[in-house]
Amino acid sequence: MQLEKTKRALRLPEGSEICLRGWVYRKREIGKKIFIVIRDSEGILQTVIDSGRVSEETFNEALKASIEASIEVCGRTAREPRAPGGVELRVSKVKVWGPSEDFPIKGGEGVDYLLDNRHLWIRSRKLTAVWRIRHTTLSALREYLINNGWWEVSPPILTQAAVEGGATLFKVDFFGKEAYLSQSAQFYLEALIYSLERVWSLTTSFRAERSRTRRHLYEYWHLELEEAWAEMRDSMKVAEELISYAISRVLDERLEELEFLKRDIESLERARKGNFPSITYDEAIELLRKKGVDIKWGEDLGADEERVLTTYFETPFFVTHFPKKIKSFYMKLDPQRPDVVLGFDLLAPEGYGEIIGGSQREDRYEVLLNRIKEEGLDPKEYKWYLDLRRYGSVPHSGFGLGVDRFVMWIAGLDHIRDSIPFPRFRDRLYP
């Protein structure tokens, strides 16, 4: 018999002889019949083992199959309106590959218990749907970049200097020398634009922030781009196209998973069309004040402020031209207004907030050197980064996309921990 997956089995002609391999998702015994719903990487399929149609040995083998046991069954497909997908497999042969005695997740457990058993909870249908959405999202991001002439590169994870501030660095003993886990690949990507012009990488980044919110991880997946000869608006255009392309692919290929997660896709349908609005930081402050938020010019936009701003928009939107004092030293100052930088954030609607942060980079040696000194940093630690401005500097821009936050919004998740198989956040490193 042909070995099949559940999704294809649902489409086969009635009476097709097939075998399935998977895990016991649900099991019930009614009279002399055993109903086992099998789960595999594509979905679920109901099987029925009738004691009147199989050998005693086969029936007893099916009796041994408890929840999450790995199992192989063979039989004929049949239409059954009461079964999930309207098809069931009427079994003639059963083999239990791996027993599962008293599976510890039975339903109704709390968050902490499920995190303690994350290695088992990642099998759940909810999280499996998220993994498929995440796969398609990453595939689409790569596809857009490759099709549009960007070069993938491989920057290091161990670094010697801070990109986003020393307070959030994870220190590492590198053979007696102090090193850090990377906060961002940006500086290395900037070096690579001088040979490849348009580069990108997908790496893990680390931020030792003390905050613990529904959208923070301490180890997260970071898609970063850097482009030579590009100004801030050029980078914003790429960000919009990239996001729209990925969302379009997910809507085309993962609608079933979105429906299973009960995701309202209207927001995604609007986002796939692009044309994201853009407001300045100044305008954002005014919008927040209209909603009664007590915020002064020059204060950073936190999760609460971003959530309020998203109530004004039904699609992702840009916030640009942030005050110099709340942004990083490498962002280029606005020539028309040197108290703000040519930086931007892209915020997702529905309260999700920032998913992209980017800017035009400061390409002038003396200005960058002074900005490093202003921040109280040691220029010696940034010698190689400054060298990029001494030898053939060009206007350039880039941004970083938090993949986990992006998936969180696409899938409509309540917490970022469910956007990644093994989340890392404060006070928890298991498994």
| DSSP secondary structure string for all residues of 173-201 | EETTEEEEE-S-SHHHHHHHHHHHSEEEE
Distance between CA atoms of residues 393 and 317, nearest Å: 31
What's the pLDDT at 387? 98
Alpha carbon of residue 172 to chain centroid: 26
Q: Give the pLDDT score at 165.
A: 65
CA–CA dist 185, 167 (Å, integer): 18
Domains of the chain from N-terminus onward: 2-98 (2.40.50.140), 118-419 (3.30.930.10)
300 by DSSP, 3-state: which? coil
DSSP 102: S
Whether omega for the bond prior to residue 84 falls within 30 degrees of 0, making it cis, is no
Side chain identity, residue 191? A
Q: Can you give the pLDDT at residue 77?
A: 97
Taking the CB of residue 404, how many other CB atoms lie within 10 A of it? 23
User: How does strand 17-30 pair with strand 33-39?
Assistant: antiparallel
- The shares of helix, strand and coil residues in the chain, as percent rounded to the nearest 5, are 35, 30, 35
The string of DSSP letters for 328-359 reads -TTBPEETTEEEEESEEEEEETTTTEEEEEEE
Which residue is associated with the tokens 């199959």? 65
DSSP 30-61: ETTEEEEEEE-SS-EEEEEEETTTS-HHHHHH
Q: Is 263 exposed, middle or buried (0-12, 13-18, 19+ CB in 10 A)?
A: buried
Cβ-based neighbours of 286, under 8 Å, separated by 6 or more: none
* pLDDT at residue number 166: 66
Ordered per-residue pLDDT tens for the chain, 431 residues: 899 999 999 999 999 999 999 999 999 999 999 999 999 999 999 999 999 999 999 999 999 999 999 999 999 999 999 999 999 999 999 999 999 999 999 999 999 999 999 999 999 999 999 999 999 999 999 999 999 999 999 999 999 877 776 668 899 999 999 999 999 999 999 999 999 999 999 999 998 877 677 888 999 999 999 999 999 999 999 999 999 999 999 999 999 999 999 999 999 999 999 999 999 999 999 999 999 999 999 999 999 999 999 999 999 999 999 999 999 999 999 999 999 999 999 999 999 999 999 999 999 999 999 999 999 999 998 999 999 999 999 999 999 999 999 999 999 999 999 999 999 977 777 78
Q: Do residues 52 and 32 make contact, with C-beta atoms less than 8 angstroms apart?
A: yes
